[in-house]
Amino acid sequence: MPDDPSAGLDALAGGAGGPGALGPLLATVLDALDAGAARRGGPLPAGHPGRIAALVADALAGAGGAEALARLTEVLARGAADPADPACAAHLHCPPLAVAVAADLAVSALNPSQDSWDQAPAATALETALLAELAALVGFDPAHAAGVLTSGGTESNLMGLMLARDQKLDGIVELDGLPAGVRPRIIASEAAHFSVQRAAALLGLGERAVVTVPVDRELRMHPAALERVLAETSWAGNTPIAVVATAGTTDTGAIDPLHTAADLAARYGAWLHVDAAYGGGALLSDRLAPLLDGIARADSVSLDWHKLGWQPAAAGIFLVRRAETYVSLARRAEYLNPADDEQAGYPSLLGLSLRTTRRADAFKIAVTLRTLGRAGLGRLVDACHLLARGAAEAVRAEPELELHAEPVLTTVVFRYRPPGEHDGAALDVVNAELRRTLLRTGRAVVGRTELPGEGPGRVRLKLTLLNPHASAAEIGALLHEVVRIGRETRPA
Amino acid sequence: MPDDPSAGLDALAGGAGGPGALGPLLATVLDALDAGAARRGGPLPAGHPGRIAALVADALAGAGGAEALARLTEVLARGAADPADPACAAHLHCPPLAVAVAADLAVSALNPSQDSWDQAPAATALETALLAELAALVGFDPAHAAGVLTSGGTESNLMGLMLARDQKLDGIVELDGLPAGVRPRIIASEAAHFSVQRAAALLGLGERAVVTVPVDRELRMHPAALERVLAETSWAGNTPIAVVATAGTTDTGAIDPLHTAADLAARYGAWLHVDAAYGGGALLSDRLAPLLDGIARADSVSLDWHKLGWQPAAAGIFLVRRAETYVSLARRAEYLNPADDEQAGYPSLLGLSLRTTRRADAFKIAVTLRTLGRAGLGRLVDACHLLARGAAEAVRAEPELELHAEPVLTTVVFRYRPPGEHDGAALDVVNAELRRTLLRTGRAVVGRTELPGEGPGRVRLKLTLLNPHASAAEIGALLHEVVRIGRETRPA
């Protein structure tokens, strides 16, 4: 045993010695993941959040030196909600593919940063090549498109709306500089992701700048309603700078009418951003891709391969149809992209991202796409879609459950509602409480949401089915568990 | 051999089978990292960027199925600029610790997402605990501070300025809603990171809202100049909403006068944001921590542990001194943080981040901090600082090199300048060209920057020394190489 207790603990992951130093540490991690999952024994740890926090605090207090990695990894696994467990089906939180996770290790070890070529020679070229493939997948002409990897749909939506603001307001983007009477507005459906409002606030437009369009039961924007909202916005003297169409709402997977949105955005001179963070996965499936017909007319698009793409977070993608519209971030930083270096052929991705240091998230996506191919990934999408259709049928067949709408992609929205008359507020309490019971007992992670509208009776449960290896029987058992706990929870 | 050629390629990283599926894939990655580094044979691949792009294109064209992981990992490693090589010393791009990379594997495999408790039970508790430790490291009272992990200093600076905007303009953050005569301004030094201007633009304030303060030779803000700029801004009827003090400029590591900045920000009612993305590492070292005296008076702080912290990207940290000022992002999303779940004790980090899906970057930091302790990390910081001081001495001893200023942290700014009279523009060309020659021949990744000011003679070279295992002899050899190539490059 060496004299210095910290000997070797500061070994680096790169260089000639890196793989040798990593080997035993990775074995430690795999053992600890195994041990932690065994102690958890289900989709999530049983117990109140306070209990999990106490386990973590204990591990942090007790872990030190060479033992820390094993001890903390075990508690992370023991206290995980594991999306690879079929009973963990709440969120757009996918179980990552082993091959994507392995590829991500290479990125952690080499640590390329995409903000300058000389921090990421191969990774810069690889991201550029991958984005061209993804642009083609969307239907953009890769020779004219541009894009960047992002932290997810929230960042991608922000970027789309930033470009819309800067294009449509002719560069007048100063709080104190807008001519009187110019009131920029963003049009999005009631069921669009809340990141649209967040982006509006961040961009200095204010949340009030988002004008919402009513949706149907499936949470799809009405074409006529979009037309009316645009007309009213315009009549009122406001400037609709962007239309956000959602291709795959978080709850129901509903896809807004993309051709209508493109026609109307063009008529009103607005930017069209398509938020396909979830529904973009349908592009991988021959069966489902037609649902996104029209997406190629968007000015910008969000895709998230950490949803239907089975990547560990983050694997967000932002694409624009015409590279020349991608101007807001052009910036010369002498230490990153001096002009004479660019003239000498050194490419720079700096002007494409909101970030400076940036992990090479493109790599795991490229490895996954090459390993499984579009067809292989499409089979995983189809498997999840079929699981959702089967789950909807099971809900319909169960008299104590109520289906909200047929699944569009891979989610099923429903609630516990035994036959008879019910008070909406009481049903809300029962559904919220039964979901917490499933969490507290460590039995299942079921989603919960509220439908747009006012008043009680809006709480719904939700299964977000992203595990292609889950079986219909496992999902059936999960629904039975919901019913069983629902009965126990039902007010007298 | 199974009939289905894709059998097993879609194995998941989580669940009971995850560690078993990962084992052989991780071995493949380590072998490919070894092979790729051997083929590279230096700090970066030799050749023009077009050659690296061709290697990547070949690998993407040839890789498929089970071979893709090895083939693409090898080309990523072959085409990497490896910060673990002592001759890779350009950027704040650190060689990550093996233990941090191993911890990051656990995060990729379990894929917790920090936007709701039920996607990350243990990871939520762990991030909260880690942030309290980091708040204490800065000198904030952990009981009153708040924070979040970010993608890096650029996002952290944006968050600080967003809070400043929303606090100081009393929530009037709509392009078309600001009362006439209110002209918000951000005060930062000429050497502050360009992300300050980017944030101003994104926030709708416009880049013009950033008023810069002159710096001294070391790139430190003059206290008197800050006072003058604040007074002038105020006299002109503008509203200084924020002062940004830099604790560790990218180029020289200079630290702005923090107490003065705090005094003046308070006098003018401005928010004080301290960008310690680089210099925050000094807090780990007993020797260097006094340089950051005053940081505890900031309203918000940026730290980046993917700089002086030896984490793979991203490991950004944003902290505020008083949690009650952290209000811009408070948001209820019924599917993520319903009110009754919070009342039932389910915590939510959603309102702390600009992102929704969010990787558990806190985990690798916590593991590293427990493995090495603050003292162990402080020794790494000190080692890099001593390397920089040694390098500065070597530069001073070499008649053909010119030192710009004494190192403050771990960077050395200098240029090739043989004795005699020189034209500034010609020297700029020589230095830029010699750096590209080092890149093209695969010999070294040396930094390059330009000093603030107008006209020729501003280009400088830079060593950013972040590899604690590099030796003074290795850095000496790198400087000799600069001189040798400089002689070849010198115009006749």
Identify which of B76, B83, B193 has the shortest CB distance to residue A122.
Answer: B76
Q: Using 50, 70 and 90 to split pLDDT, how confident is the model at A184?
A: very high
Task: Quote the radius of gyration of chain A (alpha carbons, Å).
Answer: 24
Q: How confident is the model at residue A3, as a pLDDT? A: 43
Q: What digits encode the pLDDT tens for the residues A360-411? A: 999 999 999 999 999 999 999 999 999 999 999 999 999 999 999 999 999 9
Whether the pTM exceeds 0.95: the reply is: yes
- State how beta strands A88-89 and B271-276 pair: unpaired
Paired tokens of A363: 């790599």
Q: What angle do CA B93, B94, B96 make, to 5 degrees?
A: 135
Identify which of B48, B96, B175 has the shortest CB distance to residue A108.
Answer: B96
Secondary structure class of A275 (helix, strand, coil): strand
Closest CA to B157 of B268, B248, B276, B254: B276
Closest CA to A201 of A179, A182, A221, A186: A186
Q: Using 50, 70 and 90 to split pLDDT, how confident is the model at A180?
A: confident
Q: Check the CA dihedral B101-B107-B108-B113 and report its sign.
A: negative
Q: Is the pLDDT of residue A173 over 80?
A: no
Whole-angstrom distance, CA of residue A317 vs CA of residue B288: 40
Taking a contact as any Cβ pair under 8 Å apart, which residues of chain A between 349 and 408 contact chain B?
Answer: 354-360, 363, 366-367, 370-373, 376, 380
Across A220-236, average pLDDT: 96
CB contacts of A106 in chain B (<8 Å) are: 29, 32-33, 73, 76-77
Q: Using 50, 70 and 90 to split pLDDT, how confident is the model at A196?
A: very high
Paired tokens of A462: 């939700």
- State how beta strands B459-464 and B411-416 pair: antiparallel
Give the least confident one: A189-193, A209-213, A412-416, A452-456.
A452-456
Q: Count CB atoms within 10 A of the CB of residue B133.
A: 14
CB contacts of A69 in chain B (<8 Å) are: 99, 102-103, 367, 371
DSSP H or E run through B32: helix B18-40
Closest CA to B75 of A202, A366, A227, A169: A366
B177 touching A (Cβ < 8 Å):
yes
**Backbone phi, then psi, for B363, in 5-degree steps?**
-65, -50
Closest CA to A186 of A287, A265, A299: A265
Paired tokens of B211: 């008023």
Q: Check the CA dihedral A114-A305-A262-A227 and report its sign.
A: negative
Whole-angstrom distance, CA of residue B122 vs CA of residue A83: 14
Give the least confident one: A208-217, A320-329, B210-219, B306-315.
A320-329
Which of A10, A48, A252, A310 has the most B C-beta neighbours within 10 Å, making it the best mutation to test the interface with B? A10
* Crossing angle (nearest 10°) for helices A472-489 and A362-397: 60
Of A170 and B145, which is predicted with more confidence? B145
CB contacts of A278 in chain B (<8 Å) are: none
Give the residue carrying structure tokens 């673990």.
B84
Q: Using 50, 70 and 90 to split pLDDT, how confident is the model at A492?
A: very low
Q: Is the pLDDT of residue A112 over 70?
A: yes
Q: What is the mean pLDDT of chain A?
A: 95
Closest CA to A99 of B372, B29, B118: B29
Whole-angstrom distance, CA of residue A362 vs CA of residue B79: 15
Whole-angstrom distance, CA of residue A131 vs CA of residue A112: 17
Which of A74, A78, A151, A311 has the most B C-beta neighbours within 10 Å, making it the best mutation to test the interface with B? A151
What pLDDT tens digit does each residue of chain B (492 aa) get? 344 545 689 999 999 999 999 999 999 999 999 999 999 999 999 999 999 999 999 999 998 999 999 999 999 999 999 999 999 999 999 999 999 999 999 999 999 999 999 999 999 999 999 999 999 999 999 999 999 999 999 999 999 999 999 999 876 677 777 777 789 999 999 999 999 999 999 999 999 999 999 999 999 999 999 999 999 999 999 999 999 999 999 999 999 999 999 999 999 999 999 999 999 999 999 999 999 999 999 999 999 999 999 999 999 999 999 999 988 887 778 888 889 999 999 999 999 999 999 999 999 999 999 999 999 999 999 999 999 999 999 999 999 999 999 999 999 999 999 999 999 999 999 999 999 999 999 999 999 999 988 789 999 999 999 999 999 999 999 999 999 999 999 664
Q: Using 50, 70 and 90 to split pLDDT, how confident is the model at A283?
A: very high
Q: Is the pLDDT of residue A2 over 50?
A: no
Longest pairwise C-alpha distance within chain B: 80
Across A195-214, average pLDDT: 95
Taking phi over 0 as left and psi of -120 to 50 as alpha, with beta for the rest, A248 belongs to left
Residue A3 DSSP code: S
ipTM: 0.97
A87 touching B (Cβ < 8 Å):
no
Q: How confident is the model at residue A138, as a pLDDT? A: 98
Q: How confident is the model at residue B7, as a pLDDT? A: 62
Q: How confident is the model at residue B181, as a pLDDT? A: 77
Q: How confident is the model at residue A328, as a pLDDT? A: 82
Residue B9 DSSP code: T
CB contacts of B136 in chain A (<8 Å) are: none
Secondary structure class of B248 (helix, strand, coil): coil
DSSP H or E run through A102: helix A98-110
Closest CA to B437 of A320, A94, A118, A335: A118
Contact (CB, 8 A) for A437 and A428: no
- State how beta strands A184-189 and B88-89 pair: unpaired
Whole-angstrom distance, CA of residue B381 vs CA of residue B287: 10
Closest CA to B96 of B360, B371, B312: B312
Q: How confident is the model at residue B491, as a pLDDT? A: 62
Listed in sequence order, the residues at least 6 apart from A107 whose beta carbon sits closer than 8 Å to its beta carbon are A123, A359, A360, A361, A363, A364, B76, B312
Q: How confident is the model at residue B424, as a pLDDT? A: 94
How close B16 comes to chain A (CA, Å)? 7
Secondary structure class of A272 (helix, strand, coil): strand
B102 touching A (Cβ < 8 Å):
yes
Across A294-310, average pLDDT: 98
Contact (CB, 8 A) for B49 and A346: yes
Using CA coordinates, name the residue in chain A closest to B78: A122
Give the residue carrying structure tokens 């209820």.
B332
Residue B253 DSSP code: -
β partners of residue B213: B189
Whole-angstrom distance, CA of residue B226 vs CA of residue B261: 8
Secondary structure class of B278 (helix, strand, coil): coil
Q: What angle do CA A435, A37, A368 make, to 5 degrees?
A: 90
Q: Count CB atoms within 10 A of the CB of residue A62.
A: 13
Taking a contact as any Cβ pair under 8 Å apart, which residues of chain A between 116 and 145 contact chain B?
Answer: 116-126, 128-129
Identify which of B63, B105, B354 has the shortest CB distance to residue A370.
Answer: B63
C-alpha distances in Å from residue B455, one per residue of B250, B252, B425: 21, 20, 8
β partners of residue A211: A187
